[in-house]
Amino acid sequence: MTDDWYNEGTLSMYNYRTTYAVGLWQRILYAEGAYYPVGGAGSIVTPFQKQWIDCDFGSGTRIATQDLQNRWGLEADGYVGPLTLGRADNNLVLIGDYNTATQLVEYRGRAHTVQFLRVKSNGAYQFRRVASDGVTDGGWNTASYSTPGPC
């Protein structure tokens, strides 16, 4: 699958900061193992962890985004716009029908493979919430530009 995400809105600390669209992007950061700072200035960096998916584009998400953009040879500006999403789009693989309304899509990153559902009628993507244990997957959220409930 290609060209599925190229025309989406730009995500950043200033645009759609706290949305389900950010939650989907954070799943990509997790799948890619993008580096994330832990502990402030001069901190250790570690691959983005599933329990950090919180639907908030804070400074850690920005830094992990810059790491991934740098790895992909893109301008490391920390904004998730058409070029960054277009590059991420290259790692989407259609697996098949999940049910009559949705398709199962995998994102195959450098560190992990994550699954999404794609709504057939409008192309909207859904991603799994992180369960309360911070590790397992919960129910599905639809990626959107609205303020989320539980991420």
DSSP-assigned letters across all residues of 47-105 = EPPGGG--SB--HHHHHHHHHHHHHTTS---S-B-HHHHHHHHTTEEEEEESSSSEEEE
Q: What is the mean pLDDT of residues 123-144?
A: 83
Q: What is the mean pLDDT of residues 17-30?
A: 95
How many beta carbons lie within 10 A of that of residue 28, not counting itself?
A: 25
Above 70 in pLDDT, residue 88? Answer: yes
Above 70 in pLDDT, residue 43? Answer: no
Q: Which helix (H) or strand (E) holds 31?
A: helix 20-32
**What pLDDT score was predicted for residue 81?**
95
CA–CA distance from 25 to each of 9, 31, 62, 84, 136 (Å)? 12, 10, 11, 10, 18
Domain definitions of the chain by residue range: 20-142
Q: What is the mean pLDDT of residues 36-64?
A: 81
DSSP, res 12: S
**What pLDDT score was predicted for residue 69?**
96
Do residues 49 and 135 make contact, with C-beta atoms less than 8 angstroms apart? no
Mean pLDDT for all residues in the chain: 89
Query: What is the maximum span of the chain, computed from C-alpha positions, in angstroms?
Result: 50
